[in-house]
Amino acid sequence: MTFAVVALPGDGVGVEVTAAAVAVLRAVAGTAGIDLVTEERLIGGRAIEETGGPLPDDTLSACRTADAVLLGAVGGPRWDHLSGGQRCEAGLLGLRAGLGVFANLRPVRPHPRLVGLTALRPGAVAGVDLVVVRELTGGAYFARPKRRDALRAVDTIVYTRDEVERVARVAFSLASQRRGRLTSVDKANVLATSELWRETVSSIALEFPAVTLEHALVDSFAMRLVQRPRDIDVVVTENLFGDILSDEAGVLVGSLGLLPSASLGAGGPGLYEPVHGSAPEIAGMDCANPYGAILSVALMLRHSLQRPDLGAAVEAAVDACIDDGVLTADLGGTTGTAAVGEAVVAALAAGARVTAEVGS
Ligand code: NAD
Ligand code: IPM
Ligand code: MN
C-alpha cells in the first residue's frame, strides 16, 4: 500500500520548514517500511507568478486524490497589493474549502524545557495541554456578500446548524478521549451566528454525557487563555476566533513556530500545516523554526496514515531534540532550519534502535 502525500511548500519560510518536514516524513516511512510517494505542487505567491492564480487546478486535483497534504505557508509583501480572490491567502482558503476540511485541530503543549522562554510565568504554562478545534470552512472567511469599494466594505458571517453540529461532534469526541472538558467559545451576547452556535453545541452535548461543556465569551476567554491555560482541555470555536486564539496560544509554547495543525473533513485527505505564516522577514535565512511543520507530519501519521505509533515517535524525537538544545533563533538557539530537520531524523533513528533493542 502506498501513502501519497502532496507537499505544498508555498512562500517564504514555508519552503524551508516544508523541506525539513518532508525529510522527517521520508525517514519515518523508510524505517517503518511505508511506500511513501510525494509530489510537490504550487500554491500562493509562487503559483501566482507561474500560473496567474494562487490555486492552480492541478494543485487542487492532485491534493484531492492524495492521502494527505502538507502545506508550508503562503503570502508575502510581494503580493500584498493584490486584493480578495487574487491574494495568496485565497489559494489557501480555496484549498481548505476544496478539500472540505472543516475541523482544524491545533494542539498546544509546552515543552518543559521551554516554559522559561515564554512571555508568561513558567508556573502558569507548565503542564498546559489543550487543543483548539477551529471551524475552518465557514463563518466570516467564506460567507457572502463580501465586497468593497473605496467608501464601503462588507463582510458577512454565516453559520448553519449543520456546520456547527459537525465541528462540535469532532470537538466533543476529542474531549471524550482526553480530560472530558469542552469549552465552546463564541460572542453570543452580540452575534446571531453565535446564538445559533451556542444552542447547537448545547444540543450536541446530549450525545456526549461524559463530556462537561462550558460556554465562554471570546473576549474574556482570550484573557483566560493566558491567565489560567492549564484549566483548558478542548476549545471549539468559529473560524475567525479560532485563528486569533490559536496564535495567542503560541505564546504558551514559547514560539508560534512550534505549533502544528491538522485539518480534517468527512473522509478524504487531511491537510497538515504549521499554524504560523510565511514570516517574510526571516525567509531564506535558514533560521525559521521547523518544529511546527515537523509536528504537523506527526499529526498526519496519526490521522491520515492511522499510525499513532509513528506520530508518537516523531513527537518523541522532537522532544528529545528540544531537550538536547537543538533550537532555532526564535527559541534562543543557533541551529538552522535544515539542521533541526537532520537532528530530528537522527533522533528518530536513535529511538528506532532503542525500540528495536527493547523489543528483541
Ligand atoms: P507570521 O506567522 O508569518 O509571523 C508572525 C511572527 O512569528 C513573526 O515575528 C515571524 O518571524 C514569527 N514566525 C512565524 N513563523 C516562524 C517560524 N517558523 N520560525 C520562527 N519565527 C516564526 O504572521 P504575519 O507576519 O502576520 O504574516 C506573514 C504572511 O504570512 C502574511 O502574508 C500572512 O497572510 C501569511 N500567513 C500565512 C499562513 C498560512 O499560510 N497558513 C498563516 C499565517 C499567516
Ligand atoms: C492560518 C492563517 C490563515 C487563516 C490565513 C493565511 C488565510 O492565518 O492558517 O491561521 O487566517 O486561516
Ligand atoms: Mn492564523
Please check whether residue 25 is in contact with residue 296, taking contact to mean a CB–CB distance below 8 angstroms.
Answer: no
Please check whether residue 352 is in contact with residue 313, taking contact to mean a CB–CB distance below 8 angstroms.
Answer: yes
Residues of the chain scoring pLDDT < 50: none
- By alpha-carbon position, which residue is closest to atom 10 of ligand 2? 243
For a ligand 2 pocket test, name from 105, 155, 243, 296 the mutation site with the most ligand atoms within 8 angstroms of its C-beta. Answer: 243
CA–CA distances in Å: residue 39 to residues 36, 90, 100, 341, 342? 10, 22, 21, 19, 21
Report whether CATH 3.40.718.10 matches the domain 1-106+255-360.
yes
AA identity, residue 267: G
CA–CA distances in Å: residue 234 to residues 26, 108, 158, 246, 258? 31, 10, 23, 12, 19
In the chain, residues under CATH classification 3.40.718.10 are: 1-106+255-360, 119-253
3-class SS at 213? strand
pLDDT tens profile 298-341: 999 999 999 999 999 999 999 999 999 999 999 999 999 999 99
Name the one residue in this structure whose C-alpha cell is 499513532.
308
Q: Is the CB of 254 under 6 A from ligand 1?
A: no
Q: How far is the CA of 169 from the centre of ligand 3 (A)?
A: 23
Spatial distance between the Cα atoms of 170 and 141, rounded to a whole number of angstroms: 20
Residue 293 CA: nearest ligand 1 atom is: 18
pTM of the predicted model, to two decimals? 0.97
Please check whether residue 6 is in contact with residue 26, taking contact to mean a CB–CB distance below 8 angstroms.
Answer: no
Q: Is the CB of 75 under 6 A from ligand 1?
A: yes
Q: Please indicate if the annotation marks 243 as binding a ligand.
A: yes
3-class SS at 134? strand
Cβ-based burial of 150 (10 A; exposed 0-12, middle 13-18, buried ≥19): exposed
Q: Please indicate if the annotation marks 46 as binding a ligand.
A: no
Report how far apart the first and last C-alpha atoms of the chain are (Å, whole number).
27
What is the DSSP code string of 148-180?
E-SS-EE------HHHHHHHHHHHHHHHHTTTS
Q: How far is the CA of 82 from the centre of ligand 1 (A)?
A: 18
Residue list, CB under 5 A from ion ligand 3: 243
Which of the ligands is closest to the CA of residue 44?
Answer: 1
AA identity, residue 284: G
Q: How far is the CA of 230 from the centre of ligand 2 (A)?
A: 25
- By alpha-carbon position, which residue is closest to atom 9 of ligand 2? 275
Domain 119-253: give its CATH superfamily: Isopropylmalate Dehydrogenase (3.40.718.10)
Instruction: Quote the pLDDT of residue 359.
Output: 55
Q: Is the CB of 278 under 6 A from ligand 1?
A: yes
Q: How far is the CA of 195 from the centre of ligand 3 (A)?
A: 24
- By alpha-carbon position, which residue is closest to atom 27 of ligand 1? 277
Instruction: Quote the pLDDT of residue 360.
Output: 53
Ranges of H-type helices in the chain: 13-32, 45-51, 57-65, 88-99, 122-125, 161-176, 192-205, 218-227, 239-253, 291-303, 308-323, 337-359
Q: How far is the CA of 121 from the centre of ligand 3 (A)?
A: 24
Cβ-based burial of 225 (10 A; exposed 0-12, middle 13-18, buried ≥19): buried
Spatial distance between the Cα atoms of 30 and 330, rounded to a whole number of angstroms: 31
Residue 73 CA: nearest ligand 2 atom is: 6
Instruction: Quote the pLDDT of residue 299.
Output: 98
Which residues are marked as active site? 141, 187, 219, 243, 247
Q: Please indicate if the annotation marks 106 as binding a ligand.
A: yes
